């Protein structure tokens, strides 16, 4: 089965500035992928390249097997895009905004009507179909933009900062919609966000810095792989345990909480650490850093 998107060694330049520098990234259908990084890191440029809006200067991008450079029309037909900027016509009705999008993608009139009815019902907008966009709250307008991106039934939805400017309740509703698309319809989602909490909702995260993917993995993998991860031991004699662990080559320190042994992927070192001490061990716990720790350790010194 073709990947939802497959980015291979792409480079995107704006004049003398390289916005994306040799990025490779892919995802299977039905996967949510977050792009995380400071402003100017290259997140939006990467999204534009995947969505066919910006051609890469080097490398290759495929969307469900369609090369975006050689066959952009076929690739675009499989993509729904939600831009950071609002692109709905505020003076047109909810239904009319969807109608123009459906016809733009070549849906016949009967199919367009059926698809519009379907997305309006799915996103709880059926009773607002005749309202103008100007009458909608920010959260409902964002849901309408996502609904519009799905009218032509794409397999991949690309979103740039999808919940910017929304209140917490509206952000929660948008994320419930996106997870439902993944779980019920195997729609893949690729999005950029500056909310660390939202990045943690993804199946996979790619942290981008200076146009390069500097770290990637699931939220759990990123946190457990950070050097700040640790095993915390409670023993009968913490000072002796720390000395024994240090002699065995571990980075062990005593605190009021017990003995902290700093290491990447601490869960894989439990047995080794326990064997290194001769005093009785009462309790062992894995202490992983937060996604905030991962982000700041990765992008330290960048502009935000």
Q: What is the pLDDT of residue 301?
A: 46
Q: Kindly tell me if the per-residue pLDDT of 52 is higher than 70.
A: yes
Confidence label for 169 from pLDDT (cuts 50, 70 and 90): confident
Asked if residues 207 and 294 have their Cβ atoms less than 8 Å apart, the reply is yes
Confidence label for 145 from pLDDT (cuts 50, 70 and 90): very high
Q: What is the pLDDT of residue 227?
A: 63
Average pLDDT over residues 63-72: 95
State the burial class of residue 246 (Cβ atoms within 10 Å of its Cβ: 0-12, 13-18, 19+): middle
Asked if residues 205 and 25 have their Cβ atoms less than 8 Å apart, the reply is no
pLDDT tens digits for 68-98?
A: 999 999 999 999 999 888 899 999 999 999 9
Average pLDDT over residues 271-288: 92
CATH class of 5-222: alpha beta
Q: What is the pLDDT of residue 300?
A: 66
What are the distances in angstroms from CA 247 to CA 1, 2, 250, 252? 51, 51, 7, 10
Q: What per-residue string of b and e applies to 42-80 under the rule 16 or more CB within 10 Å gives b? A: bbbbbbbbbbbbbebeebebbbbebebeeebeebbbbbb
Confidence label for 63 from pLDDT (cuts 50, 70 and 90): very high
When the pLDDT of each residue in the chain is averaged and rounded to a whole number, the result is 91
Question: Within 10 Å of residue 185's Cβ, how many Cβ atoms?
Answer: 12
Confidence label for 303 from pLDDT (cuts 50, 70 and 90): very low
Q: What is the pLDDT of residue 224?
A: 75
C-alpha–C-alpha distance, residues 12 and 16, integer Å: 10
State the burial class of residue 249 (Cβ atoms within 10 Å of its Cβ: 0-12, 13-18, 19+): exposed
Q: Kindly tell me if the per-residue pLDDT of 43 is higher than 60.
A: yes
Question: Within 10 Å of residue 20's Cβ, how many Cβ atoms?
Answer: 29
Closest alpha carbon to 4 in 138, 113, 168, 154? 154
Average pLDDT over residues 47-56: 95
Asked if residues 62 and 49 have their Cβ atoms less than 8 Å apart, the reply is no
Average pLDDT over residues 5-22: 96
Q: What is the pLDDT of residue 134?
A: 96
C-alpha–C-alpha distance, residues 57 and 227, integer Å: 36
Asked if residues 237 and 209 have their Cβ atoms less than 8 Å apart, the reply is no
pTM for the predicted model, two decimal places: 0.79
Residues shown for the chain: 304
Q: Kindly tell me if the per-residue pLDDT of 302 is higher than 60.
A: no
Using the structure block, give the residue that is written with the tokens 């480079």. 11
Closest alpha carbon to 218 in 201, 196, 193? 201
Average pLDDT over residues 184-192: 93
Query: Which of residues 264 and 186 earns the better pLDDT score?
Result: 186
Q: What is the pLDDT of residue 196?
A: 84
C-alpha–C-alpha distance, residues 36 and 33, integer Å: 10
Q: Kindly tell me if the per-residue pLDDT of 284 is higher than 60.
A: yes
């Amino acid at each position: 089965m073709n990947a939802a998107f497959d980015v291979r060694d792409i480079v995107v330049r704006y004049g003398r500035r390289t916005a994306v520098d040799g990025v490779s990234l892919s995802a299977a259908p039905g996967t949510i992928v977050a792009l995380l990084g400071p402003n100017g890191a290259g997140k939006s440029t990467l999204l534009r390249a995947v969505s066919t809006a910006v051609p890469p200067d080097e490398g290759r991008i495929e969307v469900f097997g369609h090369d975006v450079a050689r066959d952009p029309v076929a690739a675009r037909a499989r993509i729904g895009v939600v831009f950071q900027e609002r692109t709905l016509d505020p003076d047109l009705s909810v239904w009319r905004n969807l109608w123009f999008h459906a016809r733009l993608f070549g849906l016949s009139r009967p199919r367009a009507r059926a698809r519009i009815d379907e997305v309006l019902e799915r996103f709880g907008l059926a009773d607002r179909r005749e309202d103008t966009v100007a009458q909608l709250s920010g959260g409902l307008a964002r849901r309408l933009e996502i609904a519009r991106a799905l009218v032509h039934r794409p397999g991949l939805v690309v979103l740039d900062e999808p919940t910017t400017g929304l209140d917490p309740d509206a952000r929660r509703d948008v994320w419930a919609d996106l997870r439902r698309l993944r779980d019920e319809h195997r729609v893949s989602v690729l999005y950029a966000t500056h909310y660390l909490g939202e990045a943690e909702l993804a199946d996979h995260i790619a942290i981008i810095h200076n146009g390069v993917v500097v770290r990637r993995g699931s939220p759990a993998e990123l946190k457990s792989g950070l050097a700040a991860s640790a095993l915390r031991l409670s023993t009968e004699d913490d000072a002796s345990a720390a000395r024994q662990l240090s002699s065995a080559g571990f980075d062990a320190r005593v605190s009021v909480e017990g003995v902290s042994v700093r290491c990447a992927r601490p869960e894989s070192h439990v047995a080794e650490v326990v064997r290194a001490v001769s005093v009785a061990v009462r309790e062992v716990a894995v202490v992983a850093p937060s996604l905030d720790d991962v982000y700041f350790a990765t992008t330290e010194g960048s502009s935000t």
